[in-house]
Amino acid sequence: MGYGAAPVTDAPPPVKKISVKEAARCMGKSDQFVRIGLQRGLLPFGNAVPGTGNNWNYYINPAKFREYVGAEAFNTFFGLTA
């Protein structure tokens, strides 16, 4: 194929950031379900880190979330083409 990068067949999703609210809606669950699942380490697509007081900070990895919910559901929810 010559010089340069090989074509990528399963590129990461073009979604840069996913909120708890978006993840919950995509899954058909409540925001609280996602927050508690991340806090307890039960959902494999992100992390929850204690903040100040009773606040928490959440990170949802788009590639892992897409893998968890499935490419079709992910692409449909975020308006992406497969």
- CA dist 62 and 71 (Å) reads 11
Contact, 15 vs 62, CB < 8 A? yes
Question: What's the pLDDT tens digit per position in 68-82?
Answer: 999 999 999 999 875
Output 36 or 4, whichever has higher pLDDT.
36
What is the number of alpha carbons within 13 Å of residue 3 lying toward its C-beta? Answer: 0
Report CA-CA distances (Å) from 41 to 6, 67, 73: 35, 17, 23
pLDDT the model gives residue 33 = 99
Q: Is residue 4 part of a domain?
A: no
Question: If you count them, how many residues does the chain have?
Answer: 82
| pTM assigned to the model | 0.81
Burial grade of 70 (CB within 10 A; 0-12, 13-18, 19 or more): exposed
In a domain? residue 72:
yes
Q: Is the pLDDT of residue 1 over 60?
A: no
Does some domain include residue 54?
A: yes
Q: What was the pLDDT predicted at 37?
A: 99
Could you tell me if residue 3 is inside a domain?
no
Q: What is the tally of structural domains in the chain?
A: 1
Residue 8 lies in a domain: no
10 or 44: which leads in pLDDT: 44
Q: Within a domain: residue 69? A: yes
What is the average pLDDT score of the chain?
89
- Within a domain: residue 13? no
pLDDT in tens, 43-70: 999 999 999 999 999 999 999 999 999 9
Domain span including residue 57: 20-77
What the block records as the tokens of 76 is 């449909």
Smallest CA-to-CA distance from 35 within 17, 49, 52 is with 49
